[in-house]
Structure 1
Amino acid sequence: MEISTVHESQFLRGNDFYFFILDKTESVSGLHQHDYYEFTLVLTGSCRQEINGKRVIMERGDFVFIPVGSYHQTFYDYGVTRILNMGVSKRYFSEHYLEMLPSCFIASQCYAMSNAFLTFIEATLSTLDIHQNECEEFNKLLTFYVVNRLRHYEDNPQLESIPGWLVQLVREMHKKSMFADNALENMVRLSGKTQSYLTRATNRYYQKTPGQIINDIRINFCKKQLETTNFSVADISFEAGFSSPGIFINNFKKLTSFTPGNYRRSLACPKK
């Protein structure tokens, strides 16, 4: 197995951090490792990370932390996925964060960010000029949150591996033909299980009901439409399967803290 190494000099270039917001549909890096620390947060959409031979599914609000020497690559099976990618120099991380890491943590693990902090990140990104010094404070705060999350995760029970049938089901539900109309009926039918069994499984492995999973998928679809088209909010809401624009707006604001119109306007935020 050939594993390439990405060096600090290629991205950090003597800086303490690098910070990208990327809309990804495929991975071009292949299997690789770093000589610096890195974490990736999903802002919109879904993807799979393979870390040290284990694959984990990441949804909106999930992040993975990649320590020095861990090999990984990303798979984008669900269309466009918006990610926030942060690199931290080995020197700076060792000086400021290394002592915070637990003595043992799982690198090949997906961690969930609190909804309140994710909302803060999205609101900050809508106004943050990442070419200015204020970005440095944001980098420090976000890295502190991530490392502190790892520090306290050891007190929580390790999540069980998600069954293959459920992984495949959620993947299929990202197809527009599945979530736009009769989504719950489609999900139950595709699962081959009873609705009550399916609900127990999604609650156990995703801590969500089937309806919440469908709602998340629809909101992700709507975010992509707001990002890439000029379609009206009403048209987008009906296309995603919401019964009315009002229900869509309420659900969108609950998950993102933005109205759809404000979210679309926030996309003027500069990106590297």
Structure 2
Amino acid sequence: MECHTVQESQFLKGKDFYFFILDKTESRSGLHEHDYYEFTLILNGICSQIINGKRVDLARGDFVFIPVGSNHQTYYDYGVTRILNMGIGKRYFDQHYLSLLPSCFVASQRYSVTGSFLNYIESTLATLNAYPGEFDEFNKLLTYYIVNRLCHYDNAQEQSEVPGWLTLLVRQMHNKALFAEKALENMVRLSGKTQSYLTRATNRYYQKTPGQLINEIRINYARQQLETTNFSVTDIAFDAGFSSPGLFINHFKKITSVTPGHYRRRLVNQIL
């Protein structure tokens, strides 16, 4: 497969950073590499990247860091995935961050941010549009955090790669027929494991319970409905599998830092 190079001048245009929040269902860039640095953080949903020939599966809170010259391509096979994508100019990165990169760094590795920092990112994103001057400081802080995570990555502490059966199970659970009703029962049945075994596995590999994973999948679906339909919040809540609108709103705000109504209004304002 042909690999093309994306030039820094196309995206950064003389700036030190570019920054996007994107809801993606496909990648139009194909197999490519950069002459600048980049990282992609998953805010909601799941996707995979092929980095230097190795497949890396990513879910909420996971990120990959792509150094200059690493070829990669993203696949969105299971619906909308919300990503935070950051590019950093080579000269700026080399000057401020390169010395922090570990000598054993591998591009085709899945890393994760902590839950508390992910909440900080999402709460900050909810207000940055009101304070555009803060973007630069946010870019610097986020990049430093990401590089610091790379630097302190410890293979001895990191759990082994997610087993294939669990990766497949999480992908299957993005099917609305499975998560809308009796989701936990469906998840246990599909896994072929006991509920206690499944819970231990999701806690070990995702640091989440099966119920938390299900709620994240439901919220990802609800976001799509808020963005693409005029259905009421109540209708979306029940359609996504929540037992009440109040429970839906609580989970939505916990994951996205805003209420469903605020999320939809902000989207409308961005379009206008």
Determine helix, strand or coil for the equivalent of 2:152: helix
**Does the Cα contact within 8 Å between 1:127 and 1:269 map onto a contact in 2?**
no
**Does the Cα contact within 8 Å between 1:44 and 1:223 map onto a contact in 2?**
no
Cα-to-partner distance string for 1:132-184 (whole Å, 9 max, x where unaligned): 54322221121111111212223762331222222111111001000000111
Partner of 1:66: 66
Q: Look up the equivalent residue of 2:45 and give its one-letter code.
A: G
Structure 2: runs of 5+ lacking an equivalent: none
**CA–CA distance in 2 between the matches of 1:15 and 1:209?**
41
Partner of 1:26: 26
**Does the Cα contact within 8 Å between 1:21 and 1:85 map onto a contact in 2?**
yes
Matches within 5 A, 1:212-223: 212-223=212-223
Partner of 1:43: 43
How large is the RMSD of aligned CA atoms in angstroms? 2.2
Matches within 5 A, 1:106-255: 106-129=106-129, 132-154=132-154, 157-255=157-255
**Deviation for aligned residue 1:131:** 10
Q: Which has the higher contact order (CA 8 A, sep 6+)?
A: 1
**Does the Cα contact within 8 Å between 1:63 and 1:112 map onto a contact in 2?**
yes
**Does the Cα contact within 8 Å between 2:126 and 2:258 map onto a contact in 1?**
no
Question: Residues 204 and 116 of structure 1: is their aligned pair in 2 closer, same or farther, counting only changes over 3 Å?
Answer: closer
**CA–CA distance in 1 between the matches of 2:103 and 2:75?**
29
Q: Look up the equivalent residue of 1:245 and give its one-letter code.
A: P
**Does the Cα contact within 8 Å between 1:253 and 1:259 map onto a contact in 2?**
yes
**Does the Cα contact within 8 Å between 1:47 and 1:76 map onto a contact in 2?**
yes
Q: Look up the equivalent residue of 1:36 and give its one-letter code.
A: Y
Cα-to-partner distance string for 1:173-203 (whole Å, 9 max, x where unaligned): 0010000001111112212222233223222
Q: Look up the equivalent residue of 2:213 and give its one-letter code.
A: I
**Deviation for aligned residue 1:124:** 2.5
**Deviation for aligned residue 1:228:** 2.5
Cα-to-partner distance string for 1:212-243 (whole Å, 9 max, x where unaligned): 21111112112222233222221111111111
Determine helix, strand or coil for the equivalent of 1:107: coil
Determine helix, strand or coil for the equivalent of 1:186: helix
Cα-to-partner distance string for 1:82-123 (whole Å, 9 max, x where unaligned): 211111111000011111112222321222222332223223
Question: Residues 214 and 202 of structure 1: is their aligned pair in 2 closer, same or farther, counting only changes over 3 Å?
Answer: same
**CA–CA distance in 1 between the matches of 2:156 and 2:257?**
28
**CA–CA distance in 1 between the matches of 2:116 and 2:200?**
26
Cα-to-partner distance string for 1:48-88 (whole Å, 9 max, x where unaligned): 11112222222222211111121111000111112111111
Determine helix, strand or coil for the equivalent of 1:189: helix
**Deviation for aligned residue 1:130:** 9.3
**Does the Cα contact within 8 Å between 1:126 and 1:268 map onto a contact in 2?**
no
**CA–CA distance in 2 between the matches of 1:169 and 1:245?**
27
**Does the Cα contact within 8 Å between 2:126 and 2:257 map onto a contact in 1?**
no
**CA–CA distance in 2 between the matches of 1:150 and 1:186?**
36
Relative to the length of structure 1, the TM-score reads: 0.91
Does 2:96 correspond to 1:96? yes
**Deviation for aligned residue 1:5:** 1.6
**CA–CA distance in 1 between the matches of 2:232 and 2:156?**
43
